[in-house]
Amino acid sequence: MTENRLADRIGRDSFAGYRRPDGRLGIRNRVLVLPSVICSHVVAEEIAARSPGAVAAPHDHGCGQLGADAEQTERTLVGLAGNPNVAGTVVVGLGCETVRSDVVAAAVEERGLPVRELTIQDAGGTDACADRGVAAVADLRESAAAQEPAEPDDSGATADDSAATLGDLTVGVVVDDLADSTRRHAHPLVAELVERVAAAGGRVVVAGNERFAAHPDETRALVGDAAADRLLDAADRPARATRVGTEAAAQGFEAATGFIGDAPVADVAAYGERVADGDATGEGRVTLLDAPSRVEEAATGLAAAGAHLVLHVTGQGTPAGHPVVPVVKLSGDADTLAAVPGDIDLDAREADADDLESLLLAVADGDRTCAERHGLTEFAIARAGPST
């Protein structure tokens, strides 16, 4: 077990979090430096490196993209700025890109979220833009500091109204393989966790569109024809022709999707789209996200959907993290656990659902995941289709 100190968290049922001015709850308090285009990612990284409490999300998109592909990139960037772990966003552009920084910033501002925008060309070059960006981050950090959580007492409760529970979380889930060890050890744990979050009134967002595209009839029965069409109408695009998709088709629907449990699946969300809150009865919801099983792209889609954290089930031990959301690693593979024990947060062979819930609450309360401790912040955006 890592420094998450799971034994000290057993029995805890709340965490503090960060209350945003609009009422949203975050579990991290980061200023996001967001390049709108590949041409500005170096400047964005420099701004973040010079700014305590800031993270950058460098990517190779935003230039030469067309149609649905450009729209998906823009939607995803706006969604990331809206993640509750983000206290404010500085959007950095070049000044002549397809996905324009001013358009992204305007969409973020329309959501009522703190945002600043600048371009390298308007600022007078790379150095001037970086200096302005550092100042913009400092400005946003002032308001972020006012959102620090209250200190919990010995019972884990806080003295004010900021205490949150499992039902306040949006949990992203991605399983990147269909190995026997994953299905035997990890699937049952994750399934029970999904059911617990939904029963508590929280949200679960599940990536892995290849699994569902491989079984269209079962997917339609699960979510209905209209929602299923959102996953299935692009089933032939190249992104679906993956190892996971091939294995899912061979192993059957239950084997491929057993980790989602028996909680009702409410809908399907597009990549980059924010998922809806639970319903008026207090019941949570499970949403399928049109995102691949590759963890770097899945985590970005889940973060844009509003996930506070991502539960990554991995038989291979892929150590990728993310700049916006903590990524919790769960594995049931004996060889992986022996080879990279410092990269896995929980051994699915020895844990039960109480252990997994306690771990997620610990991370929500500020304990760092293995990926966070190692400074891993991989970032990728899925493509909707070919561009120039």
Q: What is the pLDDT of residues 234-284, one digit of tens each?
A: 545 554 567 898 999 999 999 999 999 999 898 999 999 999 765 545 567
Whole-angstrom Cα distance, residue 126 to residue 338?
Answer: 45
Q: What pLDDT, on the 0 to 100 scale, is given for residue 243?
A: 85
pLDDT band at 97 (very low <50, low <70, confident <90, very high): confident
Say how many C-beta atoms besides its own lie within 10 A of residue 328's C-beta.
26
- The structure's pTM equals 0.92
Beta carbons within 8 Å of 6's beta carbon, 6+ residues apart: 346, 355, 358, 359, 362
Amino acid in position 233: D
3 pLDDT exceeds 50? no
Q: How many CA atoms lie within 13 A of 109 on its CB side?
A: 11
Are 59 and 37 in contact by the 8 Å Cβ rule? The answer is no
Mean pLDDT within 5-34: 82
Long-range CB contact pairs, 346-353, < 8 A, 24+? 346/1, 346/6, 348/185, 348/186, 348/189, 348/313, 349/185, 351/189, 352/189, 353/189, 353/192, 353/193, 353/196
Question: Residue 288's closest CA among 215, 353, 381, 346?
Answer: 215
64 pLDDT exceeds 90? no
Mean pLDDT within 323-343: 97
Is residue 37 classed exposed, middle or buried when 0-12, 13-18 and 19+ CB atoms within 10 A define those classes?
Answer: buried
Q: What pLDDT, on the 0 to 100 scale, is given for residue 388?
A: 54
Query: pLDDT by residue (tens digit) across 153-206?
Result: 443 444 345 589 999 999 999 999 999 999 999 999 999 999 999 999 999 999
Question: Residue 60's closest CA among 36, 79, 83, 80?
Answer: 36
Alpha carbon of 345 to those of 204, 293, 369: distances in Å? Answer: 20, 19, 7
Are 228 and 216 in contact by the 8 Å Cβ rule? The answer is yes
5 pLDDT exceeds 50? no
pLDDT > 90: percent of the chain = 78
Are 144 and 31 in contact by the 8 Å Cβ rule? The answer is yes
Element (H, E) at 173: strand 170-175
Mean pLDDT within 350-373: 97
Q: Return the higher-pLDDT residue of 303 and 266.
A: 303
Are 205 and 302 in contact by the 8 Å Cβ rule? The answer is yes
Measure the CA dihedral 50/88/268/192, to 10°.
Answer: 80
Amino acid in position 150: A
Query: pLDDT by residue (tens digit) across 198-224?
Result: 999 999 999 999 999 999 999 999 999
Taking all residues of the chain, what is their mean pLDDT, rounded to a whole number? 89
Mean pLDDT within 32-37: 97
Are 331 and 311 in contact by the 8 Å Cβ rule? The answer is no
